[in-house]
Chain A
Amino acid sequence: MAKRIEVSGLNAYYGKTRAIEDISMTIEPRSVTAFIGPSGCGKSTFLRTLNRMHEVIPSARVEGKVLLDEVDLYGAGVDPVAVRRVIGMVFQRPNPFPTMSIYENVVAGLKLNGVRRKGQLDEIVEKSLRGANLWNEVKDRLGRPGAGLSGGQQQRLCIARAIAVEPQVLLMDEPCSALDPISTLAIEDLIANLKDQYTIVIVTHNMQQAARVSDRTAFFNLAGPGKPGRMVEIDETNKIFTNPGEKATEDYITGRFG
């Protein structure tokens, strides 16, 4: 079910301001790709162009191509709603639906896809919560509010919600930045398990995290003060952190700036 993403010549705008410039890259299936770089360099913006979430902000728009196994997500006649159903997303802050129970949160996406049969839903809820390493903690209180869980549990609930619909790709926008180290570790373990089945893209500010969880790493930076963000390089994570091709990358990972 995992698919390859090929991006070419992608620009994203907020109104007249260009936020990211001319990005091209290939994201391999069944692997973890990490985006690192200083704040405001367009990592999250780029991530949001991959499931057409960028354009939900008024006046935001995208130019360029994003191919998901040969299908251009920005092609004519492609419905952004359909794109988001196959490319799941986990956000920086856990955002379970506050009015829904744990169970209802997990099945929220399934209901959109028209899955209604109770037995099937029960099965998927257990599978997804097990997949998100949350089942043992919540199996006795599935009817309780999702917002009543701890921050780390809420984030794993959001991951369960995202994988319940079995997406092709899972996008994670700094999924651990609001969590304590133990919850962070739990999520990193989870990412390692999930990459057998999913194409995972993760934005992170934590370089150790990128080094721990990802197979490939892309380094983003601003082209200059007041200029749009761009991708400096993408390579095997190992290579980026030991022997990067660009001086800017080395400066960043060794802490000389950013």
Chain B
Amino acid sequence: MTSETLEQGATGALGGKARKMSTGRLGDRLFGLSAKGSGIVLLAIMAAIAVFLIVKALPALQSDKANFITSQEWNPDASPARFGIAQLAFGTVLSSVLALIIATPIAIGIALFIAFYAPRRLADGLGYVVDLLAAVPSIVYGLWGLQFFVPKMNHVADFLHGHASWIPLFGGDAVGGRCLLTAGIVLAIMILPIISSISREIFLQVPRPNVEAALALGATRWEVIRMAVLPFGRSGMISASMLGLGRALGETIAVALVLGSAAGISLHILKPGGNTFAANIANTFGMAGPNGQSALIASGLVLFVITLLVNMAARAVVARRKEFV
């Protein structure tokens, strides 16, 4: 809404005097302007990013002789250029979904423990540790993942492949530590604090009367959580998970370090290698030629769109049962 329509609205409803009141004070005007300015800056930044991505991506997209969406090749600097995002999109989505599946139950468990089970002092300490986990730089997670976790995962991968290869996810020919499952676990640890601290905040906001209603019906602690807490926190938990998923989709350096090189599209999550949008950009942008850089930006544009879609889907889920919340 522009300032003209705002003023017209105020004039229409309240007459000339109200108009004078709303525009006369310097503080009012300054605050109104700065609030409006902040909103505009936000939109401008979003628009600038989208325009940048599209403009820089176009030359490569026009030069592409393969299908950009379905091709698994990545040779943008060859002549003719042939590249597509299929592998990157697959690796990105699979590693992030693995991370989400691993992190969400643990994070919600931690949040419930802190909010309802832990004694006050332990709860404060635990909350602090969880927040600390969020403050660890992602490069540290990457180095830890590569140096410490990958060797451990070598054994885990061997074990799973040896004993549970009838589960398609754990099948395949070769297995190793630098696989999508390892990337998923490292990502899960990284998104755990976001999901956990948002869920905890939501759980602490559950209205006391709802909790007492459940208690008075003779609900045990777990039944109180099931009757009053989880339904109330449902949309908040979904939002928290989606924020976590957003971070996992875009995480770069930890994944780039943990995973090896591109490995095609395979649901065998123990197979060494794999690649994601962000890791691919980080690994290859420096060495890429002009068309290669443009192609990488095009892949960044796709990541941008995927993240946008994830957020919209989350909002749709949250809105669906709004009547009850």
Contact A82 B218 (CB under 8 A): yes
Cβ of A88 under 8 Å from chain B:
yes
Q: Which residues of B contact A99 (CB under 8 A)?
A: 231-232, 234, 321, 324-325
Residue B173 CB within 8 A of the other chain: no
In the complex, per-residue mask of B300-325: 1 if CB is within 8 Å of any chain A CB, else 0:
00000000000000000000010111
Name the distance in Å between B230's Cβ and chain A's nearest Cβ: 9
Task: Determine whether the beta carbon of B217 is less than 8 Å from that of A161.
Answer: yes
Q: Flag if B223 contacts A84 (CB, 8 Å).
A: no
Point out which of B214, B217, B223 has the most chain A C-beta atoms below 10 A from its C-beta. B217
- Asked if B213 CB lies within 8 Å of chain A CBs, one says yes
Q: What distance in Å separates the Cβ of A168 from its nearest Cβ neighbour in chain B?
A: 12
Cβ of A100: which chain B residues have Cβ within 8 Å of it?
231, 324
A84 contacts B216, CB within 8 Å?
A: yes
How many inter-chain contacts with C-beta < 8 Å in the A-B complex?
75
B residues in contact with A101, CB < 8 Å: 324
Known: A95-B210, A98-B210, A98-B324. Contact between A109 and B217, CB under 8 A? yes
Q: Are B325 and A51 neighbours in the complex by a CB distance under 8 Å? A: no
Minimum CB–CB distance from A107 to chain B (whole Å) comes to 11
Among residues of A, the one whose C-beta sits closest to the C-beta of B208 is A95
Identify the B interface with A (CB < 8 A): 120, 207, 209-210, 212-220, 223, 227-228, 231-232, 234, 321, 323-325
Cβ of A81 < 8 Å from any Cβ of B? yes
The 8 Å CB contact of B216, one of A82, A88, A93, A97, is A88
Query: A148 CA to B323 CA in the complex, in Å?
Result: 9
Nearest 3 CB-CB pairs, A to B? Answer: A85-B218, A99-B231, A95-B209
Given contact pairs A83-B218, A100-B324, enumerate 6 new A-B contacts (beta carbons under 8 Å). A91-B209, A91-B216, A95-B207, A97-B227, A99-B231, A108-B214
Query: Is A32 part of the binding interface, using a Cβ–Cβ cutoff of 8 Å?
Result: no
A89 vs B214: C-alpha distance when bound (angstroms): 10
Inside 8 A of B323's CB, which chain A residues have their CB? 145, 148
Instruction: Tell me whether A165 is interfacial, beta carbon within 8 Å.
Output: yes
The distance in angstroms between the C-alpha atoms of A156 and B212, with both chains bound, is 17
In the bound complex, residues from chain A placing their C-beta under 8 Å from that of B219 are 81, 84, 112
Q: How far is the CA of A53 from the CA of B214 in the complex (A)?
A: 11
In the bound complex, CA of A97 to CA of B219 (Å): 13
One digit per residue, 1 when the CB lies within 8 angstroms of any chain B CB and 0 when it does not, for chain A 75-111 equals 0000001111110110101011111110000001100
Instruction: Give complex CA distance A95, B206 in Å.
Output: 12
Cα of A96 to Cα of B227 in the assembled complex, Å: 11
User: CA separation between A58 and B210, bound complex, in Å?
Assistant: 17
- A112–B212 contact, CB under 8 A? no
Chain B residue at smallest Cβ distance from A113: B218
**Scoring A residues 29 to 72 as 1 if CB is less than 8 Å from chain B, else 0, what string do you get?**
00000000000000000000001010010100000000000000
Q: Taking CB as reference atom, which chain A residue is nearest B211?
A: A56
The reply to whether B217 and A56 form a contact with Cβ atoms under 8 Å apart is no
Interface range, A side: 20 to 34
Chain B residues with CB under 8 Å of A86's CB are 218
A108 and B215 contacting across the interface, CB-CB below 8 Å: no
Listed by A's residue number, 23 A-B pairs whose Cβ atoms lie within 8 Å are: A53-B212, A53-B215, A82-B218, A84-B219, A85-B217, A88-B216, A89-B216, A95-B210, A95-B212, A96-B213, A97-B227, A98-B324, A98-B325, A99-B231, A99-B232, A108-B217, A112-B217, A112-B218, A112-B219, A113-B218, A158-B213, A162-B216, A165-B217
- Residues from chain B with Cβ under 8 Å of A84 in the complex: 215-219
- In the assembly, what is the distance between CA of A145 and CA of B218, in Å? 22
- Would you give the shortest CB distance from B23 to chain A, in whole angstroms? 41
Complex Cα distance A112/B323, Å? 25
Chain A, Cβ-Cβ closest to B235: A99
A158–B323 Cα distance when bound, in Å, is 19
What residues of chain B lie closer than 8 Å to A112, measured between beta carbons? 217-219, 223
Query: Hey, which chain A residues are within 8 Å of B218, CB to CB?
Result: 81-86, 109, 112-113, 165
Return the contact of A51 from the options B207, B216, B227, B321 (Cβ within 8 A).
Answer: B216
A81 vs B219: C-alpha distance when bound (angstroms)? 6
In the assembled complex, the Cα of A148 lies from the Cα of B322 at a distance in Å of: 12
Evaluate whether A81 and B216 lie within 8 angstroms (CB atoms) in the complex, with A98-B210, A100-B231, A100-B324 already known.
Answer: no
> In the complex, what residue of chain B is closest to A93 when comparing beta carbons?
B209
B227: A residues at CB distance < 8 A:
97, 108
Specify the chain A residue showing the minimal Cβ separation from B119.
A58
